[in-house]
């Protein structure tokens, strides 16, 4: 009879190759990210990929350190930039060797786990105006893009 496997054993096999393509040896860094940088900063930044050097130094026995690319929301980029030496030290302490020597910041939106964006309302009459305005455009892709843009422009947020 087969034993029941914990989800942690199964998930590594499923998403491990995707993480390996981004330079991560395992999914551990994403799971440990809040412990490494702290809960507050972890809400606004996520590791994106780990870039390893193209060539290994011949005179070195130890592996070369990599560059960690971190997506960070614009407001917290300066804070993470100032904390970069501490974050590098914590990552290396977590893994037990100097695997990261540098952090590169990419300003981007970082999804918030567990929070949902507020829904917007679109008045049907205004949506019809947008559809009529873009109906004469021959290119399907352009028409669809302008329809989405126009609908977003006329949408209203619900009252709190």
pTM to 2 decimal places = 0.53
Query: Which residue reads 């026995």 in tokens?
Result: 61
Give the residue among 18, 19, 27, 45 at the shortest CA–CA distance from 111. 45
Tell me what pLDDT residue 149 has.
Answer: 86
Tell me the residue ranges of DSSP E strands in the chain: 45-51, 66-72, 100-107
- The secondary structure of 18-60 as a DSSP string is HHHHTT-SSTHHHHHHHHHH-HHHHTTEEEEEEEPPSS--TT-
For the chain, which ranges sit under pLDDT 50?
22-23, 114-116, 160
pLDDT for 158 equals 57
Q: Tens of pLDDT along 32-58?
A: 889 988 888 888 999 988 888 776 666
């Amino acid at each position: 009879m087969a034993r029941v496997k914990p989800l942690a054993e199964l998930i590594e096999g499923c998403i491990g190759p995707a993480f390996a393509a981004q330079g991560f040896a395992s999914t551990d860094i994403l799971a440990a990210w809040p412990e490494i940088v702290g809960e507050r900063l972890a809400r606004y930044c996520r590791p994106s990929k780990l870039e390893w050097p193209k060539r290994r130094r011949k005179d070195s026995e130890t592996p070369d350190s990599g560059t960690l690319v971190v997506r960070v929301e614009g407001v917290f980029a300066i804070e993470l930039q100032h904390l970069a030496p501490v974050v590098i030290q914590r990552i290396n302490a977590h893994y037990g060797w100097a695997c990261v020597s540098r952090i590169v910041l990419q300003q981007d939106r970082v999804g918030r786990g567990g929070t949902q964006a507020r829904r917007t309302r679109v008045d049907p009459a205004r949506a019809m105006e947008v559809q009529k305005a873009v109906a004469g455009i021959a290119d399907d892709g352009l028409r669809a893009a302008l329809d989405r843009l126009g609908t977003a422009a006329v949408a209203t947020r619900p009252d709190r």
